[in-house]
Chains A and B, each alone.
Chain A
Amino acid sequence: MAGGASLVIVKRLFDFFASVRLTVGVLLSLAVTSIIGTVIPQNEAPANYVRAFGLQGYRLLEALDLVDMYHAWWFQLLLLLLVLNIVVCSVERLRATWPIIFARKPRYRLERFEKSAIQAELSADVPPEALRQAVQSVLGRRFKRLATLPAADGREAVCAERWRLSRLGVYVVHLSVVLLVAGAMIGGLFGFEGYVNIPEGDATDTVVLRDGSGTRRLPFAIRCNDFSLSFYPNGAPKEYRSSLSLLRGGRVIHEKEIIVNDPLRFEGINIFQSSYGKLPPPLPAEGAGPPERLAVHVLSNHSGRTYHQEGAIGDQLDLPEGLGTLRLDAYRPAAEFMGQPLGPAVEATLVHPGQEPIKLTLPLRFAAFDKMRRGRVAIAVASAVPMPERYYTGLQVTRDPGVRVVYVAFAVMIIGCLVTFFMSHQQLCVVVRPRRRGSAVAVYGVTNRNKMAMHRQVELLARRIVAAAGQTARA
């Protein structure tokens, strides 16, 4: 059996965690430290911090864990302290109030009620019996556990109560906070948050994790079938819409069109429309035929100017500055130059005035190719066919197994708040006394909180009782 000293320590520890002073201290600490995290931007690239605070400043912030402070160990410790505080406080207080909350038969003591500051008394011109009957009917309708107590000098007190379970309201609220922290922890430990950009038509099963810890493979691939963008007349974005298919083993297992605020949720993974971007136009495919229109750019070495023309295979173009003619002879999908593949190219014949024709190979992918020739002109050829714009969709992909717990905690918190703030354990005793003329009814009320509401209730009851007895009240 441990010595008395360790018992004292345990008791001191327990008292510490059960104290409201700790609650106030932790709440205020959380508030103050949270402020720091809003004034110092969080999770930015290190270069930004160095630029703003200098290298030493950044090192200091890092050492104090201030660049990602909401995940810092000391912040989590504060939250843990709060949870511990809540649990210990709740257990201790619940132990004390449990007998009251779940007592089988309430025991009313008239002296306690008569001493209460919450009371109302009204007289009426009716015999006491009428009032007594009114008391039974009015109380019986709204209150429970009516009991009749014999009182001094022949009077009777009828006592009743209601909403006893509302005493649990405060514990429900605190339980919701514990649930909330638990849900957040579950999400943090067993979930992930990532993002991925998918060009239209492409599919991928890997996302980049937002916390910088690398990538993660999903149990299926996401394919972006189509991305569409619409704008309001004033240019502001109206909607971003992605048509997504989920693939496993090449088969489509799920499909949905998502927009912001309407994500795809499947097998615990959530896919949100986050952003988008435009891709550079694609290069012409390998086996495709010649582009219907070609853009021809002629750089004159003499003047340094570049001229732009358009033509098709078979055309003969006149060059500016009297430089001669260029005939676009043929299109080669896979040209070569000195054994090296050039990709798609146009074969052309260049004739300067009074000179022999020069055969040219002009690759569509290498605009500066012809400059190597060091001729009087350098010619570049590109496809003049307008390419459709190709987008990529920016998706946020998450899994959060704790979010259900968090949502339950939300609901529990609201219900707990409503019960705690707007209800209370209301008890009353009603005494009917004979008067010289008629009788009087006195309503005494006792409540554990929300005294103003009890005052109003007591006055309301007195009026109702007198009204039920068939007469208007005389104060």
Chain B
Amino acid sequence: MTSSLLLSVTTFIYGLAAVLYIAGWVFRRPLAARLGTWSVWAAVAGNAAGFILRWIESYRMGIGHAPLSNLYESLVFFAWTIGVSHLVIEHRYRNRVIGAFTLPLAFLAMAYASLSPYVSDRIQPLIPALKSNWLIAHVITCFIGYAAFAVGFGLSIMYLLSKIAAAADGRSGQRRAADVLVLQFFLVGLGLILFRFILGWSFGAGLAGAVAMAAVVDLAAWLLGRQQRVRDELFTRFPEPSLMDLLTHQTVMFGFVFLSAGIITGAIWANSAWGRYWGWDPKETWSLITWFVYATLLHARLMRGWQGRRIAYLSILGFIAVLFTYFGVNLLPGLHSYGAMAQQLR
């Protein structure tokens, strides 16, 4: 049993958990949701075992190091932190519908790691710049922060969904249209990640698949939503909107502390590896941008009393910044065909 095999199996357990939670929510089956919780426990355990096994394997290869050094390893750790965060939230607030919105994120992270043709699971030796304990602290704190933000993102999507479904609440058609639009972007983004990055389709095919998937979900939602009874049943078991809003705030606060710690440990590591604690390179700058967005959210809420939709929007914006910090920086255009930039050891 190799760690890669174990982690591939874990991917499907996360997927199973996501399916169980969604089924439990949509078809009103508490048993399915309960099985979902058990699945998450199994997935988190398998994920942790795979992590430890990979650590041991690296020592057996003579290049022993903590498995936090490349995209595959960080994605695996990310999925684990999302799983653990979900279990904590579910236990505290005793609500099994949240799982339908957080587990898919964990599944996507693991699936990207295990299934994508763009991610290699080979254990590579550490190049000199990565040999630092500060790096390990940096990766761990960053991903705990990202996981908290991911859960907050899930809660914000839930919030918008519940607001769209709420009947006769005097909302203007414009606001509702804006919410629907945001959810469309979310669905298409989800589809793109699934088809383009995880399954490795071309960008055109991936986009087409994503749009098709969004259309199918929209159709299903519209058909389901036409009946008031169904709408009520689907959304009564959501947490109260004020609770979802409060939870979003709490997860963002938690994530903010860890993101701050992550940026700080990253700066300390950079200072010992490259001689400067801050170089305004894209990765560093985008982590700061993420920090600014969430700081804006906290100030708007604590000082101006922003609540509800505005907070949900900022939380979604913040998570997009998180994704850009994690993945997007690698796609940035660069004038790379020449720059003899001195950071040769990255």
Contacts and interface: CB of A to CB of B under 8 A. Distances in A.
Contact of A274 (B127, B292, B338, B342): B342
B246 A452 contact: yes
Interface string B248-262: 001001101100110
Contacts of B127: 236-237
Contact of A195 (B125, B131, B256, B342): B342
Nearest to A210: B342
Interface stretch (A31-39, A150-158, A362-370, A439-447): A31-39
Interface in A443-475: 449, 452
A241 B332 CA distance: 33
A48 to B, nearest CB: 4
A70 B257 CA distance: 25
Given A27-B299, A38-B286, A413 B260 contact: yes
Contacts of B273: 260-261, 272
Nearest to A260: B128
B256 A417 contact: yes
A259 interface: yes
Contact of B250 (A31, A259, A452): A452
Contacts of B321: 31
B193 interface: no
B71 to A, nearest CB: 16
A275 B344 contact: yes
Given A37-B285, A45-B339, A421 B246 contact: no
A201 to B, nearest CB: 23
Interface in A355-405: 394, 396-398, 400, 403
Contacts, number: 144
A41 B335 contact: yes
A274 B345 contact: yes
A34 B282 CA distance: 9
Given A38-B332, A260-B128, A260-B129, A396 B275 contact: yes
A417 B296 CA distance: 15
Interface string B269-298: 101111111101010011011001101100
Contacts of A23: 299, 303
Nearest to A234: B125
A8 interface: no
A240 B129 CA distance: 10
Nearest to A52: B335
Contacts of B260: 413-414, 417
Contact of B264 (A37, A48, A397, A413): A413
B334 interface: yes
Contact of B332 (A39, A272, A274): A39
Contacts of B124: 234, 236
B275 A263 contact: yes
Interface of B is mostly: helix
Contacts of A262: 272
A185 interface: no
Interface string B111-150: 0000000000000110111011000000000000000000
A169 to B, nearest CB: 12
A418 B334 CA distance: 38
B277 A42 contact: no
Nearest to B300: A24
A286 interface: no
A417 B257 contact: yes
A168 to B, nearest CB: 16
B267 interface: yes
A193 interface: yes
Given A23-B299, A39-B332, A48-B338, A34 B264 contact: no
Contacts of A273: 128
A200 B299 CA distance: 55
Interface in B293-345: 293, 295-296, 299-300, 302-304, 321, 329, 332-335, 338-339, 342, 344-345
Given A239-B128, A274-B274, A417-B257, A70 B280 contact: yes
A184 interface: yes
A31 B277 CA distance: 20
A193 B271 CA distance: 12
B63 interface: yes
B260 to A, nearest CB: 6
A20 to B, nearest CB: 4
B272 A263 contact: yes
B124 to A, nearest CB: 7
Interface string A38-66: 11011011011101100000000000000
A160 to B, nearest CB: 26
B166 to A, nearest CB: 24
A21 B304 CA distance: 9
Question: When A and B form their complex, which 4 residue pairs have the shortest distance between CB atoms, in order from nearest?
Answer: A260-B128, A272-B275, A396-B275, A38-B282
27 contacts: A24-B300, A27-B295, A27-B296, A31-B293, A35-B286, A38-B285, A38-B286, A38-B332, A41-B334, A41-B335, A45-B338, A193-B275, A195-B342, A232-B63, A236-B124, A236-B125, A237-B128, A261-B272, A272-B274, A273-B128, A274-B274, A274-B344, A396-B275, A414-B261, A414-B264, A418-B257, A421-B256
Interface of A: 20-21, 23-24, 27-28, 30-31, 34-35, 37-39, 41-42, 44-45, 47-49, 51-52, 70, 184, 193, 195, 210, 232, 234, 236-240, 259-263, 270, 272-275, 394, 396-398, 400, 403, 406-407, 410, 413-414, 417-418, 421, 449, 452
Interface of B: 63, 124-125, 127-129, 131-132, 246, 250, 253-254, 256-257, 260-261, 264, 267-269, 271-278, 280, 282, 285-286, 288-289, 292-293, 295-296, 299-300, 302-304, 321, 329, 332-335, 338-339, 342, 344-345
Given A48-B335, A193-B276, 20 more contacts: A20-B299, A21-B304, A28-B292, A34-B286, A34-B289, A35-B286, A37-B285, A38-B329, A39-B332, A41-B333, A232-B63, A236-B125, A237-B128, A260-B129, A260-B131, A261-B273, A273-B128, A396-B342, A400-B276, A417-B257
